[in-house]
Chains A and B, each alone.
Chain A
Amino acid sequence: MKLKISIKLYLGLFLLLGSFNGFAQKNEGSNAANELKNTGVVKVAYDTVAKKNLTYSVSEVKGSALLNTSAFLPGNTLYGKLAGLTVIQRTGEPGNDQPTLFLRGRATTASNAPLIMVDGIERDLNDVQTEDIESITVLKDAASAIIYGIRGANGVIMVNTKRGTEGKLKFNGSVDQFFSTPTRKPEFYNAANFVQLYNQAMVNDGFAPQYSASQIAGYNQGNATLYPNVNWQDEVTKDYALGTRSNFNVAGGEKIAKYYVSLGYFHQGGIYSNTESNEGYSTNLALDNFSFRSNLDLNVSKYLSFGLDLSGRIYQKNSPSTSTATTWDLLNKYPSHIFPVYVQDGIYGGTAIYPNNPMGYINSKGFRQTNYRTILSTLYGKYNLSQFVKGLTFNTRFSADNVYSNQEGYTKNFAVREIIGTNANGAAVLSPGIGSNTNLATLTASGYPYNDTQAKRNTLEAGLAFKPELANNNSLNMQVIYHQDRLMLGNETPYNFQFLAGKFNYGIKGKYFAELGASYSGTEAFEEGNKFGFFPAVSAAWLISEETFMKGSSVFNFLKLRASAGIVGNSAIGERFSFFRQYIGDTGYNFGNANAAQAGLSSGTLPNSDFTWEKARKYDLGIDARLFNFLDVSLTAFLQKRKDILITRESLTPGIIGANVSTTNTGKTSNKGFEASLGFKKLNKNLGFRASFNISYVTDKVDYYPEPNYAYGYIYKTGNRISQPFMLEAIGFFNSPGDIQNSPTQSFGAVQPGDIKYKDQNADGKIDGYDEIALNNTTLPSWDLGLDFGFNYKNFDINASLQGQLGRSLYLGNEPLLFWPLQNDGGKISTYAKQFWTPQTAATADYPRLSAGPNNNNYRESTFWYVNGDFLRLRSLDIGYTLPSALVQKVKLSKAKFFVRGTNLFTLDHLKFTDPEVMSGYPVMKSYNVGLNLQF
């Protein structure tokens, strides 16, 4: 039997022929979220394969689905887009807002960060321009990530950029303008309310009231000099900030050469006000970013082809010289009633206790610029060896990335003055300056990553791919890949990664597929002889719909069962070289009349002789189906068992050893859950509807954590969630002295009626640390929901994207400035607290009595301060109008579209007071865009 072997190959890492979903769909929301279709191909590690034959667990999103928001960083376009990918928003600060990503939840106490590969090379997701993304694939199970071996356990996020296709030049340009405004601002009681509440707090604590009746009257009346009422948030921030975003790209090519070239500019301003008062510089936040990309493909001969990808960006962020976190803390901390913003023209108000007038802190402390320059380049070659063995290809690839960053700027200080009274004319009498005004001085390294840093990564790869075309609809796909890369990060010991990996996939009659993959991979972090691990995986798929008994089913157009199992590793465990022990320089001491420091030498941490990486055994079982020819369904259940997690042993070795003991690879966890996706699509030119919905659930458990023996079983971490919070259980407020008398003794300070009462979990008559039990959810959600849907009617289309996270909790104690008023004599009370406990309101109080002290009894981790963190957020809403094509063709355009767009327009949640994801700091923004997209 003769085999007919085609030269049409799916070639490992090469994307040259892979892209069928090309340029034409660019920027059309209505074609978004293509992931469920069981037709077409999908890019996986070092390969592009037909979706229907896939034996792995992967999710895919097309780049066109990511363009509906005003988010700058690609990470912020992924909310709810990919089943299994949890995206956690951290801050709203422009440029600093890359989210935290979890793929299938938490499985270790070390880093859970997935590996991010941009066009096959490990790169920062931030360095990609969203417009350039062709698709993003997440590799979730062991089989799909097996090639990455020792680094595959946290999953892989593959970003694939656009490439040119044969055809005439296509131009695509879009420009839009947006303005952003905080989703929510925390609110505080005004000065008049504050002084009364403060007095109440003082009285509650057994002190005399601080403010006299005349002062209270003064605040009630208001007087900008003596009885100010400053809303710092309103004073130093504007209601909105402007931004602009544009991208122009051209693509095309013919047989010999193909190209995709793109250029983009993004600007986003900050919401600080009065920032232009300094001569020569601004103190507002401002982010400016230019990005470019050029992806070229060149067919040199019938057998030989090359490609060259270049991309880069120039990024500059301007900001006040001070830290953003501190600035926003000041806004939540500085009292509204003590001094006005300015006590006189150009002189900031303040006192010795409150010397950092927030207005001055932003505008009179100098400025800082953060710069990035990145150049990422990849050169690859492919040699088709069909002349020797049909179906065989040799691939090689080199990459050189350079990321340079620095911070520079100037800093100065300012003096504040206090109003100590008024003179006969009613004008303010000022105190001497507190602090001093200084001139601009160069920002120094202390406390900032000020020094220039450079990260360089070089990759070298070579591999063979063998994909003969077999008869009887059988298939074979074999690959061998050698990879090495070295990351040089400043002056740290280089990070090296090396593997030799391969896979063998065989399909019978287009119905049964089985794959064996393996990786022999290692990193520099481990001991000689123990640097490499062997990681195997198997996977299989059964296309039930291809069986004769299913042919012609009116329900199932497609039905596939798939399963995989394998072992992958995680070497990002926070330590390197821990197998080694050396004597290290130590503090020593000072001796002699001159107090001379004498350097010491001491033994370092005792070695961890078994120092190794984490090993994850992963099992996946899934069904993919297409029903009634319009509904795509995918269900996957997964289980992961991870071991050799690095645990600090400090707390397990008697202190009498007298030395620092090493960590030990003894932790074990398990992690399990399921993912489900539904896709629905009915499109035609005049009326259409599409929706895709994904939901995933994941939970984790500590299977083994070395712990000392505790007196009570509920103290153990083992058996609980990883990062499970432990806390006291609040059971109401003490309502009377008798109530206190009859309750267990609370050992966190004297209590009085109105204080929080806790449950005595161990019934020993004493409330203390031993009564803290595992309660509430972790901050990481168990449930992730994403819904993308759209309509089109004639020339209008509407697209929306919703994201939800359920089964998470918020700990308000993390933001004491907002939720624990007056703790340690704070100057403000937020309106989160409405119904304070007083003897009169005892029955309806939802907040403990006010207290001006530290109140260690009330202000500690307990169920009282945990709030259900579930939320549902409208991440984007996009309304577009496409001009009739007859009209645009007159001006030689193929398409012209106007759109209006909103990002983070509303949020449903339980907290309501501030943003449920970012409770304090630079706020999460909602934004509104208008824009235009042109294609020809």
Chain B
Amino acid sequence: MNFKRFIPGTVAILSIVFMLLASSCQKDFLEKPFSVTFNEDSVFAKYENAQKLVFDMYALKPYYLDLSVQTVATRRLNGSLLESATDFGCSFRLNANYFTHKFNFGTVQAENLTNQVDGEDSYPDHYKTIRKAFTLIERIDEVPDAPANQKERIKAEAKTMIAFNYFELMKRYGGVPLLKKRLNPGTDDLNIARSPLSDVYAYIIQLLDEAIVVQEFAPRYDNNDFGRLNKAFAYGLKAKAALYVASPLFNTATPYLNFGGNNKLICMGSNDPNRWVTAAKYASDAITYCESNGYAIINTANKNINYTISYQYRPNEGNTEVMWGTMKVTNPNMAYWIPRGTPFTGGFSSNLASINLIEKYQNKDGSYVNWNSVITTPPNDPTFPYKNLDPRFDQSIMYNGQTLYTGVAIQYYEHETVALHGNNSPAKASTQWSHQVRKHVYGYENRTITGKTWQPMCAIMRLTELYMIQAEAQNEAAAAPDATVYGRINTIRNRSDMPNLPTGLSKDDMRKKIQDEWGIEFVFEEYRYFDLKRWKLGDVFKGPVYDVKVKKLNNNTYTYTKYKYEDRPFYDWYYLHPLPPSEVNLQYGLIQNPGW
């Protein structure tokens, strides 16, 4: 065989075989069998699917009682409430990594606050919800089998949801990028700078007004629809947004830190007393609307439970007050709420209450317990100091000697004889303080007694709040506290067996009373942190924060000794949240708040 002849022949044969092989290859060998594929068009082709999108719009709504996750590290604030970053509380101290300690140590960093694992707020989540809402507004009309009234309702609902998220952003960050439609990453410019605070506020009011005029948007949704947004909430949110921009933090031309040309991002740009008038009017409108549509302040004969009903019960159980409640978990994990030590197993004491809070509670006669000197009880009477306190105290706070559902009294005391330390005492169970949150545990107890499953609810807004808004705004708007101010506050106090406020209070005195009332009525519902900032009372965060040491003596008397637990820092830049540094670093116009 000649070499030159040989090569072409071989190549020819090889090529033929090669082609044969190639053609015999399984051409579809690599194809992926797609199972069920849904694209957006198929979602809006059917009401059933579109409704799922509506449900999903709620997936990221606020729920501070999230007890579904057991791991500390991945829970918002590591299982503590935001009160633990205020003068009212403290997070479980044994684990000093718990998030809210960072505030109290002054070590909180921009990265911490907004991280999506255990941070206070996940900034992008608000925009995710806003995107879902805009998607519904844009496309719900296309759904062929959706009833017309439901389409209108869903659009109003989505607008309220957008307004609510912008409010939550505004309350934390000031002015934020204001999106008025769904962004398309391919065609839209994503470089959207922060809008002035006043524009964000105006857009919130605009959206809520658009929702309020919708006939199909009902004042309330009950039974299976409870938890969906309604028109009463839209009314209420208007008042709440107006209250925030009327309050000192925003209602100014000179913000808490000079931000130069960007001042308008963190304040309204002027001090306008009329904003209080607007807030009072919106609150009044909202109360009128609510009360003519079946909402009422709970006032049953049992004044020791009215308060609990208002934030814990569902409408079908007699809660006529709740305007929007969020729910997530059934029979949640209570580890972060219950005390350490027998009879509780697995408690973490993550939500502790300070004496700074306890001191705000009045006795039923309007007087105060003096915690500044050592209190010695009669023998075998551990609850002596607490006996005559505001019934809301017993419903909100766990204290030494209190009998819970287990029938066993809480024992926060250390005993003169070391071996007899109380089960829940710091020395024995590493409970750090002598008071702890009962407010949300109370529902757990109640359900445990009655054998029902417990489904905790976060009352995002209840009628009581509108009363408080109106009282506060009216007090600021008028020259002196008028009958409306007294009326609203006293209604709230009376239904919990507390006396009227003394008459003839000055505007300043009344302001202090109203602030204390906010603190007590909404304690452990994450109001305090934002309210103190709204009022520009940053110094209150500094404390000092106090606890009491409870000691049981061999003669069976108890002593309560107040002691300073810690001083806490508060820097002016704390007044607003930092924006996530990861977003700021993208440099698309998101300017970091001053100081961070």
Contact = CB atoms under 8 A, between A and B. Distances in A.
A589 B223 contact: no
A388 B10 CA distance: 10
B223 A601 contact: no
A505 B58 CA distance: 65
B444 to A, nearest CB: 14
Interface residues of B, number: 94
Contact of B40 (A493, A502, A603, A853): A603
Nearest to B347: A352
Given A3-B6, A480-B14, A582-B39, A749 B107 contact: yes
Interface string B322-359: 00001111100000000011100100000000000000
A661 interface: yes
A2 B15 CA distance: 24
Which of A435, A595, A652 has most B Cβ within 10 Å?
A595
B59 A654 contact: no
Contact of A484 (B10, B26, B127, B130): B26
B537 interface: no
A651 B582 contact: yes
B131 A654 contact: no
Nearest to A4: B1
B97 A824 contact: yes
Given A466-B10, A588-B55, A601-B38, A653 B190 contact: yes
Interface in A223-274: none
Nearest to A353: B430
A657 B38 contact: no
B109 A750 contact: no
A663 B56 CA distance: 24
- Chain A binding surface, main DSSP class: loop
B316 interface: yes
Given A590-B227, A591-B224, A496 B583 contact: no
Interface in B1-48: 1-3, 6, 9-10, 13-14, 17-18, 21-22, 24-26, 29-34, 37-40, 42-43
Contact of A522 (B30, B316, B455): B30
Contacts of B129: 658
A815 interface: no
Contacts of B32: 493, 524, 577
B123 A655 contact: yes
A655 B185 contact: no
Given A482-B22, A583-B39, A589-B58, A658 B183 contact: yes
Interface string A558-596: 000000000000000000010011111011111111111
A600 B52 contact: yes
B159 to A, nearest CB: 16
B55 A583 contact: no
A606 B58 CA distance: 20
Contacts of A117: none
Contacts of B192: 654, 656
B21 A462 contact: yes
Contact of A583 (B43, B327, B341, B430): B43
Nearest to A522: B30
Contacts of A653: 185, 190, 586
Contacts of A709: 585-587
Nearest to A596: B224
Contact of A581 (B13, B39, B177, B590): B39
Interface string B237-281: 000000000000000000000000000000000000000000000
A462 B97 CA distance: 61
Contacts of A661: 185
Contact of B59 (A432, A468, A581, A586): A586
Interface string A475-494: 00010101010100000010
B228 interface: yes
B124 interface: yes
B26 A589 contact: no
A421 B190 contact: no
A420 interface: yes
Given A524-B32, A586-B59, A824-B97, A480 B17 contact: yes
Contacts of A853: 96
A164 B345 CA distance: 66
Contacts of B228: 591
Contacts of A421: 419
A413 to B, nearest CB: 12
Given A601-B56, A658-B130, A658-B131, A589 B587 contact: no
A352 B21 CA distance: 70
A470 B30 contact: no
A528 interface: yes
B202 interface: no
B535 interface: no
B132 interface: yes
A659 B17 CA distance: 51
A658 B14 contact: no
Given A466-B14, A480-B14, A493-B32, A654 B583 contact: yes
Interface string A829-865: 0000000000000000000000001101000000000
Given A480-B21, A582-B37, A658 B128 contact: yes
Contact of A749 (B1, B105, B225, B329): B105
A601 B37 contact: no
Contacts of B183: 656-658
Interface in B430-460: 430, 455
B52 A601 contact: yes
A352 B343 CA distance: 12
A749 B105 CA distance: 6
Interface in B101-125: 105-107, 109, 111, 123-124
A886 interface: no
Nearest to B48: A601
Nearest to A604: B38
A213 interface: no
B586 A593 contact: no
B226 A591 contact: yes
B327 A590 contact: yes
A856 B585 CA distance: 25
A586 B56 contact: yes
Nearest to A429: B419
A652 B582 CA distance: 8
A199 interface: no
B40 A583 contact: yes
Contacts of A589: 55-56, 58-59, 61, 227, 326-328
Nearest to B105: A749
A581 B107 CA distance: 41
B25 A587 contact: no
B142 to A, nearest CB: 15
A824 B96 contact: yes
A593 B223 contact: yes
Given A493-B32, A589-B328, A655-B127, A856 B18 contact: no
Interface string A703-729: 000001110000000000000000000
A261 to B, nearest CB: 34
Interface string A499-532: 0101000000000000000000011100010010
Interface of B: 1-3, 6, 9-10, 13-14, 17-18, 21-22, 24-26, 29-34, 37-40, 42-43, 49, 52-53, 55-59, 61, 94-97, 105-107, 109, 111, 123-124, 127-132, 135, 177, 179, 182-183, 185, 190-192, 222-228, 314-317, 326-330, 340-342, 345, 419, 429-430, 455, 580, 582-583, 585-588, 590
26 contacts: A432-B342, A468-B10, A480-B18, A482-B21, A484-B26, A496-B29, A582-B38, A588-B59, A591-B58, A591-B224, A594-B224, A601-B53, A606-B185, A652-B586, A653-B185, A653-B190, A655-B123, A655-B127, A656-B192, A657-B190, A658-B128, A658-B130, A659-B185, A708-B585, A708-B587, A749-B107
Given A5-B1, A522-B30, A654-B191, 14 more contacts: A352-B340, A352-B429, A420-B419, A466-B14, A468-B6, A478-B10, A498-B29, A589-B58, A595-B455, A600-B56, A656-B124, A749-B105, A824-B97, A825-B94
